[in-house]
Amino acid sequence: MNFVVVKVTAIYLIFSLTVVEPQPVDARKKQPLINTLASQDLVTNLPGQPAVDFQHYAGYVNVNETNGRALFYWFYEAATNPDLKPLVLWLNGGPGCSSVGYGATQEIGPFIVGTDGHGLRFNNYSWNQEANLLFLESPVGVGFSYSNTTTDYDNLGDAFTGESYAGKYVPELAELINDKNTDPSQHIDLKGILLGNPETSDAEDWRGLVDYAWSHAVVSDETHKIIRENCDFDGDTWSNKNCSQAVDEVLKQYKEIDIYSLYTSVCIGDTANSDDASMQVMMMKKTSTMMPRIMGGYDPCLDDYSKKFYNRADVQKALHVSNGLPLKNWSICSVKIFNNWTDSKPSILPIYKKLIAAGMRIWVYSGDTDGRVPVLSTRYSLGALGLPITKAWTPWYHQKQVSGWFQEYEGLTFATFRGAGHAVPCFKPSNSLALFTSFLLGESLPSTR
């Protein structure tokens, strides 16, 4: 097994992420951060990489020797004092979208793919300023991850495997860790999860999506009225023809703009017709059991830059992809995985309650210009928990400006980002780093200028 052994005492699962509290380490007893067995995964010649003082590693974790199942990872040391800082695991949603293509090189990693798809630029607000970052392309079939057993691709679901759809399988992973922690030999000091614009409860998510579209003038009063009178999102929603047609009208209008970012321009040009960009249109559909899982991030042009970059032979070689085998075709999201996803809980609110009772820290944040999993969906879902409020709704500040609003409950904090779309760090990099820092420290967001 190729993997990075990190000497930390804290782990965080965010957004896709999980959290472990850092604790003092006697400098005289410190061991190397990276196990020497992983030295072959050290990235030394990534094309276009800015010079940095920290190390990063990429390669494969063999998760099933029998089936030949391997997941691709990319690990960045914290920019300073990596031995003393927590480990953060970032998982993007979809399901079927790449944590490397989105999280690592569009959102929170130290390198952002350039607009020509050839170079990289340094991210001054990378979250590795505060933590060691681990990005995993999961499950098999996402990005560079693979299996030599074809049936592995036909049995995918939440039980098989943090923005968006990761809002479901991150809490499920946290629950699994919590349950397994009864065995001292498997104990992981997991303290909490941080989730951004997460899918949470199908019924509340649907209500939030249509109410947000109406309140932001995407659909008419008449369409919204039909939905209110005919849609039972808690029951057999799509058996009602009037409901189904009205919701189709909402999705139709969202095809005209960027559902992930209502007030920014869409990508226009040849790249907008690429296979990856067209996924957004293809996935604007309903299913009988779950939310319309629309693929990807917020900027189809950014997606194309990532596709160009990761399909370069020299980039794949630098990242130790396929161990020297012929060029692997990388895509930012997988239609096959999306279509084959067979297992999805309609609500993970019971898991929230379980994790809160176990004492885990849970923070949820929402960019307030996202129509895909809008702030209303999250407010409806959290409202259904019925948690006591410990700090009432109030602005939080960054650089003396209102960054958003937040409210604290017993066991949970909810915060908004003013003027941010679905992938919040793309819109508010400095603000999101500030929230991330408060989360790691277990401190309230700044409520004064």
Which are the catalytic amino acids?
164, 370, 422
Please compute, for residue 305, the number of CA atoms within 13 A of its CA located in the half-sphere on the CB side: 19
Tracing tokens 């190729």 back to the chain, one arrives at 2
Distances (CA, A) of 328 to 106, 283, 317: 21, 25, 10
Q: What CA–CA distance (Å, rounded) separates 288 from 102?
A: 28
To 5 degrees, how large is the angle CA 291–CA 74–CA 47? 115
Q: What CA–CA distance (Å, rounded) separates 61 from 42?
A: 14
Residue 213: phi, psi to the nearest 5?
-60, -40
Residue 113: phi, psi to the nearest 5?
-65, 135
Alpha helices in 263-374 (DSSP H): 275-282, 300-310, 313-318, 335-340, 349-357
Q: Tell me the DSSP string of 184-212.
A: GGG---EEEEEEEEE--BHHHHHHHHHHH
